[in-house]
Amino acid sequence: MNESQCDVAIIGGGPVGAALALALQGNGLQVVLLEARESEVNTTDPRALALSYGTRLLLQRLGAWDALQNVSGIKVIEVTQKQTTGHTTLRAEEMKVPDLGYVLPYTMLHAALQKGLANSDVTCFYGALVNELRQAADTAVIEYQHQGQTHTLTTRLAVAADGGKLLEATHPPEVTDYGQSGIIAHVTTSQANTSKAFEHFTTQGPMALLPYLDGYELVLTATHEAAQDMLTWDDATFLAYLRGHFGERVGDFLTIGKRTCYPLRLKRAPDITFPHTVLIGNAAQTLHPVAGQGFNLGVRDAWELAQVILDSASENIGSAAMCAAYRKSRRIDRNAGIRFTDGLVRVFSNDLPFLGQVRSAALSLLDVFPAARKFVAKRMMFGANG
């Protein structure tokens, strides 16, 4: 068995894990990243990501933003509710920022971050399958398989950035099944893309249209059974459904690309720190995609953890005091992000009597109060910590 040691070991080389590694590089720390995929470019994730303006600022600090191409900006977000007149419009101009957010493929962001890692002092192992994560006296110990051999890595701090399944057996997460699945696809419409995103609430769940290149990235929610049925529809049937479901605010729906479906749920780790171990990103919380908060919350996890690590003396990395400092720094933002998305799903995805009128009135009131509108926009861009 091969044995080694480091200051910080990051399990998961997706965008959140990679962002943490880049935030730590160049500071004299021994940082090791373990990724199960066989290569740094081996990802075919079909999702489009909605990045907030705050996430753009963090990616700029990490040196990754300028490597991104074909990014579509969101200057306006229109929020509506089906079969009511209630609506709210958020504008970048009102917030004095160039854009409220951005849309780009997951694969593009992944590649940009991996390019940064290739030019850093972070040690990356691809095809590294982690079998065990356990705590020792003053360290965390990771066992993993790489190139047919078993390796043991002893680290001051282990960071789980993908999934968190290593700890689920001993620390089961709190899971809420919303009874919904999300269908994602690229659509084109008869009206040109105007840098406007749409969040459309219906009793079966929210629908989002995110401007990207020649059309929009669609996120459509429905019950698990209905979503599976929709996957069997031909394009003409699906496009006709979208016309009736969303209306004509983007004109006619013309084409739809490959459709992918996945279940939607809230998964929340009971705690985000353990002795010499921290959970970030999807390992800490997996959110419903409404309002596009989950990934942005994960990037803020990575950034703030890096600041806490860099503010600690080398011998204190992974200590109870350091973990407590990180836990405190993320408490407000994490809890607020979870409550915000969970609340939107619960309040808007139902057909309870009279609640439709209340929701409609709330959206209209929000639209006429600039201070309230700016508060919501600021939360969406920067999180609860602002």
**pLDDT tens-place string over residues 209-244:** 999 999 999 999 999 999 999 999 999 999 999 999
Nearest one of 58, 124, 43 to 305, comparing CA atoms:
58
1 confidence band (pLDDT: 50, 70, 90): low
Task: Provide the angle, in degrees to the nearest 10, between the axes of the packed helices 355-368 and 320-348.
Answer: 120
pTM for the full predicted model: 0.94
364 confidence band (pLDDT: 50, 70, 90): confident
pLDDT value for 168: 83
* Count, residues in the chain: 386
**pLDDT tens-place string over residues 45-88:** 778 899 999 999 999 999 999 999 889 999 999 999 888 888 99
Please state, rounded to an integer, the average pLDDT across all residues of the chain.
92
41 confidence band (pLDDT: 50, 70, 90): low
**Which domains, ranges and CATH numbers included, belong to the chain?**
2-69+104-173+266-348 (3.50.50.60)
Distance CA 74, CA 60 (A): 18
pLDDT value for 203: 86
pLDDT value for 46: 75
**Contact present, 211 and 197 (Cβ < 8 Å):** yes
What is the number of alpha carbons within 13 Å of residue 123 lying toward its C-beta? 13
63-66 long-range contacts, Cβ below 8 Å, gap at least 24? 63/22, 63/116, 64/19, 64/22, 64/109, 64/112, 64/113, 64/115, 64/116, 65/112
pLDDT value for 47: 81
Distance CA 149, CA 365 (A): 62
3 state SS of 26? coil
What is the number of alpha carbons within 13 Å of residue 166 lying toward its C-beta? 28
- Cβ-in-10-Å burial (0-12, 13-18, 19+) of 38 comes to exposed
- Compute CA 384 distance to the chain's CA centroid, rounded to the nearest angstrom: 16
**pLDDT tens-place string over residues 131-168:** 999 999 899 999 999 999 999 999 999 999 986 677 88
DSSP of 261-307, one letter per residue?
EEEEEEEE-S-SEETTEEE-GGGTEE--SGGG-HHHHHHHHHHHHHH
Tokens 């700016």 belong to 374
